[in-house]
Structure 1
């Protein structure tokens, strides 16, 4: 080839920014001093991308503490590339306050954002716009760290198509532009994307149109037009995760209400939210204390060796049969290690003997349960993942009013436990979940259940948000529907209906139904023309519709099973999705390993061309 090698990175949010940071770190060793042109394509300003952009409500928070968010590697990350340390979010905010770091231009012009940075506590939950400012700073630092002969150009717009043969240069077509970007390789680093509604949601939307109702399908809550949601009327909400928390905030404080001294003072513009889901409860509160003492050695029963063993198995993996027993044993190991070391008065017998017998037990057999029952007298101190996953299973309330009190008691108990170090085995299980998540990325698409379970236990809302939920319940603004929520329609009356298995009686009727969750990241239903064209061009979709990629390099796989040498992909729509975009410092985050491996693979390909 002739001329300067070129790379196009589609997406300049956290994934694209993290990739650029790894390109800057690896380029001197892998790519040398060759010239390189990098084109970055995104309709939103680089750094924050769509989710963390500056242009959104200041009421919306991250669900992580400032001290638990970093975009920089450390020596706990197992990767081929070099470590390039940098400040976590809370340290960056302190640097801005002290003048050691300059805030991005968008922050300088926004007094509210500057105040959010200036008052951010290490254990505080920052606003999303604050995180966006941090991400913009990380992006600018990554670009500045690139070798002198590497040039970066940002194109504000959306990529709609990638064309080109495996052997030749690729063409990246941008919306509204007649001439494509010519490139030797392309990395798709787009985040969450819009999707066409599934058949059920299509039917519900059609019912709404016929009867003059409102149905809002899965969407990004911050982008949803909530102006049509009526004040003072019942509104059915299906989904009780983080999307619901955003919805709750925007339809209460976002409409002029206030929280004061544990009570909610309504503005009169709020709807009445009737919320339910499969579990019927909100995600668990973030744990409100730090780690003290000896940590469980992780991974122990679900590490790289176990992953390699599973990868070599004959035939496709069944998650519940082949993978889950080892995860259960790993999380149990973390739980009981902490119980024996930090709370020995709640255990019985010799710790070393227990650990030896635990290690030898079949993860799928009955021996583990008998061993735990003998060593941990109180059943409340034993780890029961099935009970944690379905806390309302078998629970019945005689009336809707009884359910409201029962749910407030449940949320209060969860808040109490998650902020009490006497239950620090919960924090050990959280560390176990992070360890497991890092291993699962190599196994490809194992279905959506694990990601939902991980989010429910490990990625819940800040404790203050659940206190606000309790206040809204006491004020009658939020009403709980229970578990195994059902949604139906009444053609005669022209109303949506919702009920649950948790409480008997008539179903709740409403003129508005909101699906409080993100769209599924399936290629068959994506609204992204970029991914639609990629799929039509021969990209492989997994059984659940994700874009298949090589877990070790990020190469896009074709339906012939072969990796495309010039196309790479990162993100939640791929089979190598890592769940959390951001990493807690010193936890060996899988997102870093993924970004590093893809950066090195792309640089190696471009170096060989040069």
Structure 2
């Protein structure tokens, strides 16, 4: 009987696993044949998020030269490196351009085709354009993957879940808001993938409360402005008259930081330095549960600060007042208070010192006397951010970005560390293209987008939604529509995907934050006793092994690539042993 592998999820993560199977098969698998069943209603390669049939107005949030699906020698893995083009090399576009998602979808489709073509003879991929709804089967026997459109299951020796971002059932707050909206004839759009939202329910000219200022917010703004016929004339937005008025706020009250608009030259900070494999090993060896704020965050702060000051001293020595070797020695030995005092003594300008608390919450304690005063001040804030993120004189920011990538790759080994870190990382390192924030400035001046402020509160009362913020004391806005501009949290208990809920009911473990618990070594699904399932694997956002993305910047270690390689090798080793037993 031919060996069979089912991969549920045909997006970039599933494609990455197939690429790693192709790369490792010559070493690990000499079987006579293998059927790989790829299950996903969306196109292989692109999947749902990057599919080519979405609006051409939507861009990637990375430069084209910073997007690759191929490994290089910076990836720590057991398998061979198989290089390939970045998005900009493949598409022939400017490396500094922000490509449209349609183009990225085409690139991912091509990568998928190349990965399939590289598989050894006798390995066949079958795409099933439907959903997998359940996985059953004994730990020591073939698994059954049940599909939505057929009565009989696919039989599989192994199953890999590469599900990507998923829809979720509403949590308690969202259910209450939805019920309130139905009762009062209001509009409530819950957390979801913005490209799939029904935005036609938001009428022109009417106020809309938007909660969230991240990437989903940027997509929402694009679709409700240019998507409704508006256009830009230089730095001026020319409305179509069909736009709603968006009153947007969040916990921080400011948009994510713009992508950095220059490259790195000169000596890079040697990373990791204070948060590397040895520190992660020590954290994993602790007898008690690791607390992120207590045990991990101090190491993160030290690592980011080291990168920042390394760059400042090496690239901008005129803005420092101490020899680097002296600073480095004292920085390495000091605690948080001692390092702050050291920076104060060695770096004369406070603007050149790294203040992560201020970066994270720039509006803490800030108050404005009127809503209009807040608009002007927040436009100035965004303008300063844009200027800084495109000025190499502030290149320590780019060093911190590289340190964030290094830290992310290390923290994956800790599993579920809570959602705060992922939000902080995205805010600093995964924000929108600079041109999008330029557009946001124009929309603010045109009155189409209005900033609410930090710690925005939303109340459902008096037949409307009311938003307010302590940033503007005494001010509030009423609206008949509320949009939650963020992706759903991928928790097992609220996943709309029945496969995950059934898996959980069947004994798969969840973390305190509701993620699917997996073995960090190879992605095998863990049961509630912490025992890995021999035949089930999972990768990506619904798991506690979630990485920064299925594709990454070239030459930055690519933790997702490392995970894909480990899973592929485990799969091939299992299937090879199965074949040997069958022959015997």
TM-score scaled by structure 2? 0.98
Look up the match of 2:65.
67
Aligned with residue 551 of structure 1, among 509, 520, 532: 520
Distance 1:407 1:154 in 2: 49
Classify the secondary structure of the residue corresponding to 1:579. coil
Whether the aligned pair in 1 keeps the contact of 2:250 and 2:455 (CA below 8 Å) is yes
1:506 positional shift? 3.3
1:276-295 correspondence to structure 2 within 5 Å: 276-295=249-268
Look up the match of 1:376.
347
Aligned with residue 55 of structure 1, among 49, 53, 56: 53
Whether the aligned pair in 2 keeps the contact of 1:572 and 1:579 (CA below 8 Å) is no
1:33 positional shift? 4.5
Look up the match of 1:568.
537
Aligned with residue 197 of structure 2, among 198, 212, 224: 224
Distance 1:286 1:144 in 2: 35
Distance 1:533 1:604 in 2: 28
Aligned with residue 498 of structure 2, among 520, 529, 545: 529
1:369-408 correspondence to structure 2 within 5 Å: 369-408=340-379
Look up the match of 2:333.
360
Whether the aligned pair in 1 keeps the contact of 2:9 and 2:40 (CA below 8 Å) is yes
1:580 positional shift? 2.4
1:299 positional shift? 0.5
Instruction: State whether structure 2 residue 486 is matched by structure 1 residue 486.
Output: no
1:235 positional shift? 0.3
Distance 1:539 1:306 in 2: 29
Look up the match of 1:335.
308
Paired residues, what number? Answer: 579
1:501 positional shift? 1.2
Instruction: State whether structure 2 residue 271 is matched by structure 1 residue 271.
Output: no
Distance 1:440 1:506 in 2: 41
1:260 positional shift? 1.4
Look up the match of 1:111.
none
Look up the match of 1:475.
446
Instruction: State whether structure 2 residue 421 is matched by structure 1 residue 423.
Output: no
Deviations 1:509-531 (A, max 9, x none): 00000000000111111100110
Distance 1:506 1:33 in 2: 69
Distance 1:461 1:439 in 2: 24
Aligned with residue 84 of structure 2, among 74, 83, 86: 86
Classify the secondary structure of the residue corresponding to 1:171. strand
1:327 positional shift? 0.6
Whether the aligned pair in 2 keeps the contact of 1:34 and 1:607 (CA below 8 Å) is no
Whether the aligned pair in 2 keeps the contact of 1:9 and 1:16 (CA below 8 Å) is yes
1:34 positional shift? 3.5
Instruction: State whether structure 2 residue 392 is matched by structure 1 residue 410.
Output: no
Deviations 1:482-537 (A, max 9, x none): 0000000223xx11100011001231000000000000111111100110110110
Classify the secondary structure of the residue corresponding to 2:200. coil
Distance 2:213 2:35 in 1: 45
Distance 2:124 2:483 in 1: 45
Classify the secondary structure of the residue corresponding to 1:227. helix
Distance 2:102 2:390 in 1: 27
Greater CA drift, 447-456 or 352-361: 352-361
Distance 2:389 2:514 in 1: 36
Instruction: State whether structure 2 residue 558 is matched by structure 1 residue 589.
Output: yes
1:359 positional shift? 1.4
Distance 1:33 1:192 in 2: 34
1:69 positional shift? 0.2
Give the unaligned 5+ runs of structure 1: 95-119
Aligned with residue 433 of structure 1, among 372, 394, 404: 404
Look up the match of 1:233.
206
Instruction: State whether structure 2 residue 574 is matched by structure 1 residue 605.
Output: yes
Classify the secondary structure of the residue corresponding to 1:133. helix
Whether the aligned pair in 1 keeps the contact of 2:17 and 2:565 (CA below 8 Å) is yes
Distance 2:201 2:423 in 1: 30
Aligned with residue 323 of structure 2, among 346, 350, 355: 350
Deviations 1:282-306 (A, max 9, x none): 0000000001111000011111111
Whether the aligned pair in 2 keeps the contact of 1:33 and 1:147 (CA below 8 Å) is no
Distance 2:149 2:65 in 1: 41
Instruction: State whether structure 2 residue 548 is matched by structure 1 residue 579.
Output: yes
Deviations 1:330-361 (A, max 9, x none): 00010000000000011111111111111122
1:560 positional shift? 1.8
Classify the secondary structure of the residue corresponding to 1:366. helix
Distance 2:388 2:425 in 1: 18
Greater CA drift, 370-379 or 241-250: 370-379
1:567 positional shift? 0.1
1:579 positional shift? 2.2
Deviations 1:443-497 (A, max 9, x none): 0000000000000000000000000000000000000000000000223xx1110
**Runs of 4+ residues over 4 Å off in structure 1:** none
Distance 1:262 1:379 in 2: 32
Query: Over the residues paired in the alignment, what is the CA RMSD in angstroms?
Result: 0.7
Look up the match of 1:105.
none
1:31 positional shift? 1.3
Whether the aligned pair in 2 keeps the contact of 1:240 and 1:276 (CA below 8 Å) is yes
Look up the match of 1:103.
none
1:30 positional shift? 1.3
TM-score scaled by structure 1? 0.94
Distance 1:227 1:82 in 2: 49
Distance 2:31 2:467 in 1: 63
Aligned with residue 497 of structure 1, among 455, 458, 466: 466
